[in-house]
Amino acid sequence: MKLATLIGKGPVSDGGASVHGSAPRDAYDGNVTGFAIDHRKVAPGTIFGAFEGARVNGEDYIADAIRAGAIGIVARPGLAVEGAAYIADETPRERFAQLAAAFFAPFPATTVAITGTNGKTSCVEMTRQLWRMAGHHAASIGTLGVTTADERVTTGLTTPDVVTFLSNVAGLEREGVTHLAFEASSHGLTQYRTEGLPVSAAAFTNLSRDHLDYHGDMAAYFTAKIRLFSEVLGPDGAAVVWADDPQAARVVDLARERGNRLVTVGTRGDTLRLVDRDPTLLGQGLTIEAGGQTYRVTLPLIGGYQAANALMSAGLVIATGGDIATTIANLARLQPVRGRLERAVIARSGAPVYVDYAHTPDALEAAIAALKPHAGGRLIVVFGAGGDRDTGKRETMGQVAMHYADRVIVTDDNPRTEDPAAIRRDVLKGAPGAIEIGDRRAAIQAAIDEAGSDDIVLIAGKGHEQGQIVGDMVLPFDDVGVARECAV
C-alpha cells in the first residue's frame, strides 16, 4: 500500500493531524510494508509510532527508526523529524491505530468488544462458543490468547499492542473467521490498542476497584472503560449492559444519548431478564424471560457470576443477529473457561479443588459466593496479592476472605520487585487469624491436606497463568498443575 493512500498526498491537516517533515516528495509514492512501535522491529517501509510511555519514550528512537528504513513517523506535534514523513497528531496513538487499521484490513465482519473489571475473559470465550454452536467460524482474543475452534496462541496481555492486535485480527479474517469477540481492557482503551476496528456491539460487565496504580482513582478508571461506548462503538452498534451493576445506568444513558441499540441483561434487564437461579451440584438452573417468552435452561457452570457471564455472552450473540431461543438453549452446552472457577482436581479426601483468576476484592468475593452453597463443610481459600500493583486493595482482599471463607491461607502471588513478606503483611492487616505460608506450593499443599470430604478448596489469584513473577524472572507455576500434584 502506498504511503499517500494512507495519509493523503502531500501535507494534509485532519482534526489536528498533519503530515510534513523533510521526506522527499517521492517518498509518498513509497510502499508501506508494516507498522511498529518498537524501533528494533522497523524495516524499510515501516511506519513507526513514537509515543511517550510510562517507562520508555519512543520519541527518543525516531532517528534509529529512520536509519532502519522507516517511511513515516507518527508522533505528537513539535518534534524535529528528518528523513521521513512526519505524521503529527495531538493523539498520536489514535492516529497510528487508524492508519494501521487501514493497512491491515479487512477484518471479520462481526466483532464485539467486552469491557469491565471482571468477566471479560469468560464473556469473550463464551460468546465464541455460542457463535460456534450457531454455525459461525468464530474466534476470541484476550487474556487467554487468540482462541479459535482449532488452536490457541498466547499473546500474554489482555489487550496486546495495536500492531499485534490488528495483524492477528486480519489474519483471522484470512483464515475464514467471520465472528470475533475481544477483551477491551482499561489499559488497552486508554492506549488505543484496539482503535480502528469496526465494533458491532460493545458490552459492559461491571466495575470495581482495580488498576488504580495506573489510573489513579475510580473516576479515571471508569472514564477509561466508558471510552468503549463514547468513542469506539459506532452509532449503529449495540450496547450490551449488565443492568445489575451500580454503574450500569451511566452506560445505558450514554448508549441512549448516542442512539445505540440497547440490550440490558440481568435481574433488572429488559432484554434478557434473569428471573430465577437454582444451584445444582455441578451447575445451576436458570429461568430467563426474553421477547415475551419464559425459558428454562441448565447451565453447566456454578456460581452467580458465571450465570452473569453466560447471559452477557448470550446478549452479545443476540445483539449481533442470533436467535433468542436457540442462543438460550445453547447455554446448556457451554464449556468451562480456563482458570475461571475451573475444577482442577478432587482431593483424596473427596474435596473438590477449584482455581480462579480472582485478584480483586470484588472478584474474590464473587468466587467465594459461587462456591459457598456447594460446600457442605468448610470453604478453604488460598490467595495472595501481586507486587508493584495497587496496594490499596490488599487489606480489603484480606477482609473479604476472612468475612466470607471459613479458612484462609495467605500466600505469594507474583510479588515482582516487592518484598513478598511485606505484601503478605498488607493482606494480613485485613485478615487477622489467617494462616501465612509464603511458598505458594506449600500453601496449596496445606489447604488440600486439611480439606475434608465436605470441604471445598479455592485457589485464587492466578487462574490460567503459567508462571510466578519474582523480581524480573518468571518461574514456572500453574495452580491447576500444582493442585493436581498436591492431591496425589
Residue 30: predicted pLDDT: 85
Query: For position 186, what pLDDT does the model report?
Result: 74
Q: Is the pLDDT of residue 37 over 90?
A: yes
Answer yes or no: is pLDDT of 158 > 90: no
The residues pairing with 295 across neighbouring beta strands, listed in sequence order, are 288
118 marked as binding residue? yes
The answer to whether 49 is annotated as binding is: no
Share of the chain above pLDDT 90, in %: 72
* pLDDT, tens only, 163-199: 999 999 999 999 999 999 999 887 778 888 888 889 9
What is the pLDDT averaged over residues 57-76? 96
DSSP 304-325: HHHHHHHHHHHHHHHHTT--HH
Q: Assess if CATH 3.40.1390.10 describes domain 3-103.
A: yes
Residue 15 has pLDDT above 50, yes or no: no
Is 416 annotated as contributing to ligand binding? yes
Mean pLDDT on 259-282:
93
Which residue's entry shows cell 490498542? 193
Residue 206, annotated as binding a ligand: no
- Taking residues 70-99, what's their average pLDDT? 93
Which whole number is the average pLDDT over 406-411? 98
121 is in an annotated binding site: yes
Q: What is the pLDDT of residue 12?
A: 37
Q: What is the predicted pLDDT for the residue at 13? A: 33
Region(s) of the chain under CATH 3.40.1390.10? 3-103
Residues carrying CATH 3.40.1190.10, the chain: 105-333
Q: Is the pLDDT of residue 42 over 50?
A: yes
Q: Is 31 annotated as a binding residue?
A: no
Q: Is 120 annotated as a binding residue?
A: yes
What does the pLDDT read at residue 310? 98
Q: Is 234 annotated as a binding residue?
A: no
**Confidence (pLDDT) at 46:** 97
According to the model, what pLDDT value does residue 474 have?
Answer: 95
DSSP conformation class of 232: I
Tell me what pLDDT residue 4 has. Answer: 85
The CATH code of the domain at 105-333 is 3.40.1190.10
Of 41, 39, 43, 17, nearest to 30 by C-alpha is: 43
333 annotated to bind ligand: no
Is 414 annotated as a binding-site member? yes
Output the pLDDT for position 21. 47
C-alpha cell at 315: 446478549
pLDDT for res 188: 77
| 119 known ligand binder | yes
Q: Is residue 18's pLDDT more than 60? A: no
pLDDT > 80? residue 17:
no
- Determine whether the annotation assigns residue 417 to a binding site: no
The reply, when asked if residue 413 is annotated as ligand binding, is yes
**Distance from C-alpha of 450 to C-alpha of 448, rounded to nearest angstrom:** 6
pLDDT tens figures, 124-147:
999 999 999 999 999 999 888 899
182 and 141 Cβ atoms separated by less than 8 Å: yes
Q: Where are the beta strands (DSSP E) in 420-461?
A: 435-436, 456-460
Give yes or no for a contact between 438 and 420, defined as CB atoms under 8 angstroms apart.
yes
Tell me the pLDDT tens digit for each residue of 409-463: 999 999 999 999 999 999 999 999 999 999 999 999 999 999 999 999 999 999 9
Across the chain, what does the average pLDDT equal? 90
Residue 431 φ/ψ, nearest 5 degrees? -135, 60
185 is known to lie in a ligand binding site: yes
Distance in angstroms (rounded) separating the CA atoms of residues 143 and 145: 5
Q: Is 158 annotated as a binding residue?
A: yes
Residue 464 predicted with pLDDT over 70: yes
Q: For 143-230, list the strands marked E by DSSP.
A: 145-147, 152-153, 179-183, 201-204
CATH 3.90.190.20 occupies which residues in the chain?
Answer: 342-486
342-486: CATH architecture:
Alpha-Beta Complex (3.90)
pLDDT of residue 11: 39
